[in-house]
Amino acid sequence: MSNLADFRKDFDILNSGDYVYFDNAATAQRPNQVLDAVTQFYKTANANPLRGLYDWSMAATDAYENARKKVACFIGGVRPEEIIFTRNTTESLNLVAYSYGMDNVGEGDEIVITVMEHHSNLLPWQMVAKRNKAKLIFLEPDEEGVISKEEYQAKITDRTKIVALGHVSNVMGVTNPVKEIAEYAHKKGAVVVVDGAQSAPHMKVDVKDLGADFFAFSGHKMMAPMGIGVLYGRKELLENMQPFLTGGEMIEYVTREDATYAELPHKFEAGTVNAGDAVGLAAAIDYLEKVGFDAIREQEEKLTKRLLEGLSKLPYIKVYGSKDPSKHCGIVTFTMDGVHPHDMSSVLNDDHVCIRAGHHCAQPLMQFIGAGSTSRASVYFYNTEEEVDIFLEKLSKVREVMGYGA
Ligand code: C6P
């Protein structure tokens, strides 16, 4: 197993004070290798990519297209032209909804999603359903966040045109049985869209093995800069879709009245592309592969186990999701009797502990579990058992600070 303490040294922000950063599901921290790769790009190869016929522009183009090849390998060896760079998961999912959904879902058709979806994988489908008079159907999980076979087999039918679901829930931490669901959805003739925002940073993803027709994720949750995201789409589908954004560099030929479009992937990448951050994403992938997903999983499970054990000793805490630490993907969501999550987060912040509090952009799930908002601690491989202990110790003081007595 890799020595995780050595990797932690690469994160200046984590080593610069006494902060415990447990909001990794919102965004990860970046190691120096990623920051250096971005700086190096701007210092040595900065010019507008895909346009200039001079050395710097061609170097920028190479760096950008090499990043695309790296991403294509990272998610299971797909074709580079099946990788579209976007700003984030949100933009990737909107691209699918607008460029595929609007043209392929009609009146009376059904779009199946889960009640656990992040708003980014809900609102775009609400738009499609409203505009095209289609129906949204919601898969509901059990107490531990698990969607049963009976549930998805009852709701995915011949009317289903799209099944859109998160690979890992950003609230429950549960990993959905995407492969099984995709197999069933394909038999019914539906297209499968997977929101991989919370899975790509934590587990080896093979989009073809999963059966994803589209797979979206964000660089910033896996140590790349903010502002670079990915959409994988099956070539046959992408080729038949209209562009999402139009303008520079996504064209083949333009007249006053009309235009033909560039080949994949550029048809979907209008305007000056984010080459600097694509280079950062490639460096983040190199880094992730150096750490190794086995080591990442092992550490996340170890920390989650300690977290769950510690929380179970506090009688006023309710934890959501599975009791099994291996089923959390590093995410632990909980509430504290009598203390609003925002107050808890503020009190913890006074002790330099960073967690997320609120609805986590998953309000239908909050309604489903009967909580207006929750607190969420989310760990990554660079977090330590000592940090879990500090978090638990500070958390156990919160009710006292809020006036409940010792
Ligand atoms: N979840 C969280 O704290 P963007 O913002 O586009 O990079 O990612 C959106 C998104 C989509 N799907 C899932 C499952 C997500 O978790 C997120 C982002 C963050 O949980 C910010 S709300």
Res. 96 pLDDT band, cuts 50 70 90: very high
Catalytic residue among 73, 329, 354, 361: 361
Distance 197 CA to ligand 1 centre (A): 6
Half-sphere exposure of 346 (CA within 13 A, CB side): 7
- 26 CA from centroid of ligand 1 (Å): 6
pLDDT, residue 122, reads 98
| Mean pLDDT score, 110-129 | 98
Ligand 1 contact, 118 CB (< 6 A): yes
List the domains of the chain with CATH numbers. 4-29+292-401 (3.90.1150.10), 34-288 (3.40.640.10)
Residue 77 amino acid letter: G
Ligand 1 within 6 A of CB of 170: yes
pLDDT band at 406 (very low <50, low <70, confident <90, very high): low
Residue 233 has pLDDT above 70, yes or no: yes
The alpha helices in 189-328, defined as continuous H runs, are 207-210, 235-239, 275-291, 293-312
Burial of 350 (0-12, 13-18, 19+ CB in 10 A): exposed
Which of 361, 365, 378 should be mutated for ligand 1, with most atoms under 8 A from CB?
361
pLDDT of residue 2: 61
* Chain CA centroid to CA 306, Å: 24
What pLDDT, on a 0 to 100 scale, did the predictor assign at position 353?
Answer: 98
Computed over every residue of the chain, the mean pLDDT equals 97
Would you give the end-to-end CA distance of the chain in angstroms?
Answer: 42
How would you classify the pairing of strands 83-86 and 229-233? antiparallel
C-alpha span between 294 and 275 (Å, rounded): 30
Ligand 1 atom closest to Cα of residue 226 = 7
104 contacts 161 by C-beta, under 8 angstroms: yes
198 lines ligand 1 (CB under 6 A): yes
Over the stretch 5-63, which tens digit does the pLDDT of each residue have? 999 999 999 999 999 999 999 999 999 999 999 999 999 999 999 988 999 999 999 99
Ligand 1 binding pocket includes 89 (Cβ within 6 Å): yes
- Is 329 tagged catalytic? no
* pLDDT for the residue 320: 97
φ/ψ bin of 173: left (φ > 0), alpha (ψ from -120 to 50), beta (otherwise): left
Q: Is the CB of 26 under 6 A from ligand 1?
A: yes
Q: Which residues does residue 168 pair with via DSSP β-bridges, in sequence order? A: 175
> How does pLDDT run across 175-221, given as a tens digit for each residue?
999 999 999 999 999 999 999 999 999 999 999 999 999 999 999 99
DSSP SS3 for 313: coil
**Rg value, the chain, Cα:** 22
Q: Identify the residue whose C-alpha is closest to ligand 1 atom 17.
A: 197
* Tens of pLDDT, residues 127-140: 999 999 999 999 99
Tens of pLDDT, residues 183-194: 999 999 999 999
Q: Identify the pLDDT of residue 405.
A: 74
